[in-house]
Structure 1
Amino acid sequence: MFSLTYEYKLKPTSAQVARFEDWLEQCRRVYNYALAERKDWFKSRSCQINACSLQSEYIIPAQTKRPTYASQCQTLTAYRKTSGNLQRVQSQVLQQALRRLEQAFVSMWEQGHGFPRFKKSGTMRSFVFPQVGIDAVRDGAIKLPLIGWIKFRQSRSIPDGAKLKQVRIVRRASGWFAMLTLQWDVSVPDVMPHGEALGVDVGISHLAAVSNGKLFPNPRPFEKLERKLRLLQQRVPLKS
């Protein structure tokens, strides 16, 4: 599989812009609620048994499992049936907000990033449609679930044979943009290694030293240009 992302500037109507902003706000609330649930669970497990706080304590039953992406998606599905605000947003878009939180925790565990933070109002900049319908792009317009057709400025044509996998709607200072992830069912050939492997060490006295014994001299461009600058300054006539 071979994937590329094409970005186009949207030309939404005022009603569509209002809907975009409402969806961003609902995604932000789902993200913050899920983060609060996970944070409470971690805090309830971080207290020592013989040294609980006298003011307040997070008490969650011991048999309660750690919140995960799958469990929170189930909770979201049940809560969405009773919430009119969430029913205005496509279910998969809300699930992508939970997946975004899951990726933040994976980055914390595997890459040493900090604990995920709550998002303030207006800080959520994008939401994702993981699936779109067939022939969703046509004549400079894209059809999004529950929103309909939206015009965009087609700055470049979409290659033939590409499948639209997902659409990310992004809000920026210059307007709204759609990032289309396109995929081709082709295999990219791997580059076969050839020749001998060499080790390169960058130094000070020499620009580089290679493992086969070859040394590359340091060109020292600053010293040469400094000499040239000194000569040019001598040719400048002194002001009376």
Structure 2
Amino acid sequence: MWKSYRYRFYPTPEQESLLRRTLGCVRLVYNKALHERTQAWYERQERVGYAQTSSMLTDWKKQEELNFLNEVSCVPLQQGLRHLQTAFTNFFAGRTKYPNFKKKHQGGSAEFTKSAFKFKDKQIYLAKCTEPLPIRWSRQIPESCEPSTVTVRLHPSGRWHISIRFDDPTIKPLPVTDKAIGIDLGISSLVITSDGDKVSNPKHFNKHYRRLRRASKSLSRKQKGSKNRGKARIKVARIHAQITDSRKDHLHKLTTQLVRENQTIVVENLAVKNMVKNPKLSQAISDVSWGEITRQLAYKCRWHGRNYIEIDRWFPSSKRCSNCGYVAEKMPLNVREWDCPDCGTHHDRDINASK
């Protein structure tokens, strides 16, 4: 079973200089390849693939003004071109929008395959680096596992992370239970189970809203290109990182508990992309991260031998009486409780939907 562990690390000044140059070169190669592919289509109606962009990279390295591309490892540059090819594949399949150009101040990442790093004595040595990365090992990689790829990422807040991917044969299914639950995802209550339990919405964004608003206002008043604007931008990015970290921590604990306690989990397949188009609910829906909850439940159930079932988004779970099956004609959002006109059962809207 493939897994990835993410760690925080604190590079030395020499390592940080090399890594920043590597990220800059990856971004440059990605953007130049995207420009060439876009231009080839609009000017000649010609599709350019990975093989052609790889040949272009070889030519770019020979140019005097781009000679600095030879100072970094070639593997992350090639991986950047492969990621661009994947982005176009997803675009032509209708799964994503057209690829965007990468921006400098949004951080960046560089992927190193097995030929560009060494894993020796439980330390990571990247290509062109003489010293191991000073990683904060919050958990150890299993003894029998060998990393296949490592990805170095710089966040807009200035934090460095490394993701180590490996095949873990030690994952075993959890003991079988006879418990099955249905889950309804909401805003006022984050998760409502068919058992009648409700998990309150922690509202991570609202907790940091005032700080974020002040920091964003301060950023907007700084002169573009100034050092003070750069400091203000990092301050805003750090607040966003705090929101993201607290949200992910809460969701991981919640989904892990659900998977451990239940053999079968049934969730509605929500169209989150369409739902966030509602301007009145978009911020609240984005904050609760329904898509992340279902993603975590799906792969954790796969890891631990649980059954994960998604029902159709058009199934009238809120309007359907869980006792007799009667389906109400209308059920607006302001109706939180209702009585079934057929059998007379009193329903909490969310608990009924989870059943």
Q: Same fold (TM over 0.5)?
A: yes
Deviation for aligned residue 1:109? 0.9
Give the 5 Å matches for 1:55-74: 66-74=47-55
- Bigger Rg over Cα: 1
What is the aligned partner in structure 1 of residue 269 from structure 2? none
Structure 1 runs not aligned, ≥5 long = 47-64, 223-240
What is the aligned partner in structure 2 of residue 16 from structure 1? 15
Give the 5 Å matches for 1:193-204: 202-204=317-319
Give the 5 Å matches for 1:177-196: 177-184=161-168
Identify if the C-alpha distance between structure 1 residues 40 and 135 changes in structure 2 by more than 3 Å, giving closer, same or farther.
Answer: closer
Partners of 1:37 and 1:181 lie apart in 2 by 31
Percentage of identical aligned residues: 24
Identify if the C-alpha distance between structure 1 residues 66 and 219 changes in structure 2 by more than 3 Å, giving closer, same or farther.
Answer: same
Deviation for aligned residue 1:125? 1.4
Deviations 1:138-160 (A, max 9, x none): 35x31111123211111111112
Deviations 1:150-173 (A, max 9, x none): 111111111121121000001122
Structure 2 runs not aligned, ≥5 long = 174-301, 326-342, 351-355
Determine which structure has greater relative contact order: mean sequence separation of CA pairs < 8 Å that are 6+ residues apart, divided by chain length: 1
Greater helix fraction, Structure 1 or Structure 2: 2
Identify if the C-alpha distance between structure 1 residues 209 and 159 changes in structure 2 by more than 3 Å, giving closer, same or farther.
Answer: farther
| Contact map agreement 1:35 1:118 (CA 8 A) in 2 | yes
Partners of 1:25 and 1:205 lie apart in 2 by 55
- Letter aligned with residue 8 of structure 2: K
Partners of 1:24 and 1:81 lie apart in 2 by 20
What is the aligned partner in structure 2 of residue 104 from structure 1? 87
Deviations 1:161-198 (A, max 9, x none): 112100000112252111000114689999799xxxx9
- Letter aligned with residue 56 of structure 2: T
Calculate the TM-score normalised by the size of structure 1.
Answer: 0.68
Greater strand fraction, Structure 1 or Structure 2: 1
1:157 aligns to 2:140 (yes or no): yes
| Contact map agreement 1:6 1:180 (CA 8 A) in 2 | yes
What is the aligned partner in structure 2 of residue 206 from structure 1? 321
Partner of 1:129: helix, strand, or coil?
Answer: strand
The two structures, once aligned, show a CA RMSD in angstroms of: 3.3
Worse-superposed segment, 71-80 or 10-19: 71-80
Calculate the TM-score normalised by the size of structure 2.
Answer: 0.48
What is the aligned partner in structure 1 of residue 159 from structure 2? 175
Partners of 2:139 and 2:121 lie apart in 1 by 13
- Letter aligned with residue 163 of structure 2: M
What is the aligned partner in structure 2 of residue 28 from structure 1? 27
